[in-house]
Chain A
Amino acid sequence: MAGKIVQEGIAIGRLQWVKTQETIGIKHTGDPERAVASFETLLETAAFEIAALEAKARDTIGEEEAQIFQAHQMILQDPVFIDSVRSAILEECFAVDSAVEKVFDETIAMFENIDDPYLKQRALDIKDIKRRLLNIWAKSDDEEEVLLAGPVILIADEITPSDTLGIPDGRLVGMLMKTGGETSHTAILAQSLGIPAMVGCGNALDALGHGDEIVLDALSGQWLINPSHDTITLYREKQDLLQKEKEELKQYVGLPSMTRSGQKIEIAANIAGPEDLKALLENDAEGVGLFRTEFIYMNRTEAPAEEEQYEIYKQVLEGMSGKTIIFRTMDIGGDKEVAYLDMGEEANPFLGYRAIRYCLEEPEIFKTQIRAILRAAVHGKAKIMFPMIASVEEFVKAKSFVDEVRSDLAKAQIVYSHDVPLGIMVEIPSAAILVEDFAEHVDFFSIGTNDLTQYTLAVDRQNSKIASLYDYMHPAVLALIERVVTTAKRKGKWVGMCGNAAADTRMIEKLILWGIDEISVAPGRILKSRKFVRNLS
């Protein structure tokens, strides 16, 4: 599969390729004075259009999206930008469009060269403004004129905020993008609009032509070009089913996750950052069972500072108004690489220098994260969970770092929470086998089934050739899970499960029988799991 699903669903429509900007090149004007006057009119028209988009964004999407267009206005009023264009016209006799292109391309290059992922992202805004100006100048409002009839799936190397708003209400049904990741603007927008989308699809999109009808199956991560009538009917039925299911599941919002015989569990969700808050609230998550904090360390050039982490953690804690958030300390390594941490290449990264193994050797990075969590914890209810723990000694060592941070904070009279339980993620078979010993030290357990399965069965979960061997319902994996859950309960410890298996009804049934306290699933699976639990006897 090429690309990453950022919003699940099925979309059927025609592909609208976002027109790539044609290069203007160097053209000259015979009347620079008049050209400058036309440029000023151009700016006014653009400001007017952007103001309209800002209002539309505020109405249809939200304040944050509207702020993007406020920033566009500010850039358009920028004296350096205006002066540069003006002087290209007056001094070099450039035609208006040539001058705009030249100045914007220089600015875009400058932003793309800044060694900061956030600022790099701003290059997209500048490209967006450039396209607007040049389109107005050419009077080819391409978004209006050549828009295809019927439902549209937007496809591009890079989709800008203007592209999505240029499509009339209700006509945009899907998005496909060559570049971008889970935190790209397109991903965030797709989630807030609930439009099926995939990003980072790369050159696989080259096979798709403008105007082609496709079925975008952003559930299994594939698309079908020019599908037959029967295929479309099939997918329409699937779509209807999904819609009905979604409506039906809404009735489970606000209900306890309790079986008919009164056994209650907590259904929490797995998240990567504050951008998931909306999904948590919509799906009525009872907590966060796994905050994958490593995502905060990814796609950047240096480790996030304590303050930045503090703000992010605080936002999540406050956003969940008092419900428990389990912070898994950063799990870098394995399949998640971070260049600036310089972990080196390994023959077997999943068995290598990763997660807590790295953190225990790099106490500064580790303690910075712990400080941020302990401080943020006063804004809600937090637990800390260490990943990839294989032996009790590792937990004891990790805990000693937390104790050091606590006493540093106390000495410096910095406010922090004194009530943050410490636990482990049970994902290495040795931890499951030694669960009884661990119970003497930890406050809680959470079973990570993805790695536990891969390590127990010696099956690389990323190797598609042996995918059929990867089975969390294997008796050996189940035996370890049962051992962890029942031993934890016998020892009076809280125990949950946060892997993919936690959303499988066959697993849920067993977990409830064994006495699990919590399961943590993708936000979109919460209500489905709750429905299942409520129908159990």
Chain B
Amino acid sequence: MVKKMVTVNAGNGIHARPASLITNTATKFAATVKIAFKDKIIDCKSIIGILSLGATGGSELELQAEGPDAQDALDAITTLFESNFGE
């Protein structure tokens, strides 16, 4: 399993649009990508799961990826966070 810490830069936190971007990206990979935040761990392929994190601006999240293309999936999702979801 590969892991990486990311920070939510978007002022509004992970609202619907970033959440749908994460979901769309995660479903392109065979690997399972999860986000751990506070006491929750959710699957990135679930938009409900991502929204339910309630991650606001400044939150630090841990990405965890497992599977054949785990590193690629992790990188793709990290890029989304780093580009501030194109906002």
Contact = CB atoms under 8 A, between A and B. Distances in A.
A145 B52 CA distance: 36
Contact of B47 (A78, A115, A118): A78
Given A111-B52, A307-B87, A79 B15 contact: no
Contacts of A78: 45-49
B17 to A, nearest CB: 10
Interface in B26-62: 42-43, 45-49, 51-52, 54, 56-57
Given A111-B52, A114-B54, A118-B16, A307 B11 contact: yes
A80 B49 CA distance: 7
B64 interface: no
Given A71-B20, A74-B20, A305-B57, A118 B46 contact: no
In which size bucket is the chain B interface? Answer: 20 to 34
Nearest to B14: A119
Contacts of B15: 116, 118-119
A449 to B, nearest CB: 36
A506 B54 CA distance: 53
Contact of B54 (A75, A79, A116, A307): A116
A122 interface: yes
A534 to B, nearest CB: 45
Interface in A101-134: 107, 110-111, 114-116, 118-119, 122
Given A116-B56, A307-B11, A75 B48 contact: yes
Contacts of A307: 11, 87
Interface string A72-102: 0011001111000000000000000000000
Given A305-B57, A307-B11, A308-B11, A71 B52 contact: no
A79 B46 contact: yes
A188 to B, nearest CB: 16
A107 B49 CA distance: 10
Contacts of A80: 42-43, 46, 48-49
Contacts of B20: 71, 74
Interface residues of A, number: 21
Nearest to B10: A307
Contacts of A107: 48, 52
A88 to B, nearest CB: 15
B45 A116 contact: no
B79 interface: no
Nearest to A70: B20
Contacts of B23: 74
B43 A79 contact: yes
A177 B48 CA distance: 27
B14 to A, nearest CB: 9
B44 to A, nearest CB: 10
B83 interface: no
Contacts of A75: 47-48
10 contacts: A71-B20, A74-B20, A74-B23, A75-B47, A78-B47, A79-B45, A79-B46, A80-B42, A111-B52, A122-B51
Interface of B: 11-13, 15-16, 20, 23, 42-43, 45-49, 51-52, 54, 56-57, 87
